[in-house]
Structure 1
Amino acid sequence: MKMKDTYNTIAFPSEETLFKEKSSKFFGYAFPIESENEVKPVIEVLKKKHPHAVHYCYAYQIGTETIQYRANDDGEPSNTAGTPIYGQIQSFGLTNVLIIVVRIYGGIKLGVGGLISAYKTSAQITLESCEIIEKTIDVHFQISFDYKNMNKVMRIIKEKKLDIVNQEMEINEETNLPIGRFVIKTRKKNAEMVFDTFNSLFEIDIKKL
């Protein structure tokens, strides 16, 4: 079985979209996010942008192997807003994305079916306006080595086309010699091979983060 090490998400925040239903307005927004902490500040901004709105409904999904998601109706009847919005995230096969639909009530009730349809359509229009991109699921390793082995380490990093996420040099207190500490990342499907390559080298320590 081929290992899946990619996922789809949106490249940038969407433009504002507008869907109208029986004089209610549904403004749709999509944002790429990496953590739950990003959700609240975005909603606060939209509350300032639409102070007369009555509902700020949203759904998000975060993660690749461990999935975290939430659907919020924000005062609409249960499962008429957040769930249909989340359904569109699933339908488009996305993760690390937040969709918010802001409703400005127009005086005519839509009923349960009407609400579900309106929130679903708004989320769909919003995602259709986004650029959807494929990203790789990456594994991070920390490599520690004596400075004299720097060339050996760099050669493997170049050969295997690895990304250096962080690098630092410090002095080993016991030997008074410089040591290097790199954080590198590689695609999940290459992780075992990268680990084995460094692990087989004398005087180089590697551990998965």
Structure 2
Amino acid sequence: MLHKYKTLRREGDQEIVIRKSRFIGYGTPVASEEEAIAFVDKIKKLHKQATHNCSAYVVGERDEIQKASDDGEPSGTAGKPILEVIKNQGLKNVAIVVTRYFGGIMLGAGGLIRAYADGAVAAIEGAGAIVNVLHREVAVDVDYTWYGKLENELHAREYRVENTEFTDRVTVTCLPVEAEADAFIAWVTDLTQGQAVIVKGEAVYRIEGE
């Protein structure tokens, strides 16, 4: 799993007008090529009357899957510019569709390339770009006598705390960055003088800075 990657926050859209043609950019995060294809199909059904629904998507940790469609526009003037915007912005696991309603003015090949690139940028702005960082769930089980110190130190060092469960003991589920998980466990062990019961859990992604 990647330690960090940039993607889209949510499904979103934004419209721009270029020389009377409407370009509506739609973007979404996807987990697979199947999800990307389903998203493209959904937008095509939503805009059946549109002149074109051009698209591109990038899927995989190493961008293994890259597809682009001009959907009737001259070859290389729509899908490829959308794909290049995705790649230039360093986005992974995303799909973008730029819907065009022709406004009566021909744009020419250069104009189309710029318009679809701008439509892709609009889609990204509408969906919002984020950075996902890989964290590791670490459950720290301590006696109540240690909880105050643990809580204060976690807060002071700005570690993420996912959940705190109070029973006969206190279990604090922390989310250190994956690359620092072993060092975190060693630190907690030292902090609690070996009194904590520590269980390493799943690797999960969380949004950087949130």
TM-score (norm 1): 0.62
Deviations 1:65-116 (A, max 9, x none): 3532112111211111111111211222211111100111223221101100
Distance 2:73 2:181 in 1: 46
The AA in structure 2 aligned to 1:60 is Y
Is the CA contact 1:58–1:82 (under 8 Å) kept in the aligned structure 2?
yes
The answer on whether the counterparts of 1:64 and 1:137 sit within 8 Å (CA) in structure 2 is: no
- What's the CA shift string for 1:109-168, capped at 9, x where partnerless? 2110110011011111221233322213579xxxxxxxxxxxxx997xxxxx9x9xxxxx
Structure 1 residues 121 and 7: alpha-carbon distance in aligned structure 2, compared to 1, 3 A threshold: same
**Which amino acid in structure 2 is aligned with residue 121 of structure 1?**
D
1:131 aligns with 2:121: no
Q: What is the DSSP-based 3-state SS (H/G/I as helix, E as strand, rest coil) of the residue aligned with 2:35?
A: helix
- 1:189 matched to 2:179? The reply is yes
Q: State the TM-score, normalizing by the size of structure 2.
A: 0.62
In 2, Cα distance between equivalents of 1:79 and 1:187:
41
Distance 2:61 2:88 in 1: 16
For residues 66 and 177 of structure 2, what CA distance do their matches in structure 1 show? 24
Closer, same or farther: CA 5–84 of 1 in aligned 2, 3 Å: same
Runs of 4+ in 1 over 4 A off after TM superposition: 190-193
Give the total of aligned pairs: 168
TM-aligned CA deviation for residue 48 of structure 1: 2.6
State the identity %: 36
Contact 2:27/2:126 (CA < 8 Å) preserved in 1? Answer: no
Structure-1 separation of matches of 2:77 and 2:47: 21
CA-based RMSD of the aligned residues comes to 3.7
Inter-partner Cα distance in structure 1 for 2:83 and 2:20: 24
The answer for unaligned runs of 5 or more in structure 2 is: 142-159, 163-175, 184-210
Amino acid of the residue matched to residue 112 of structure 1? A
The alignment status of 1:112 with 2:109, answered yes or no, reads yes
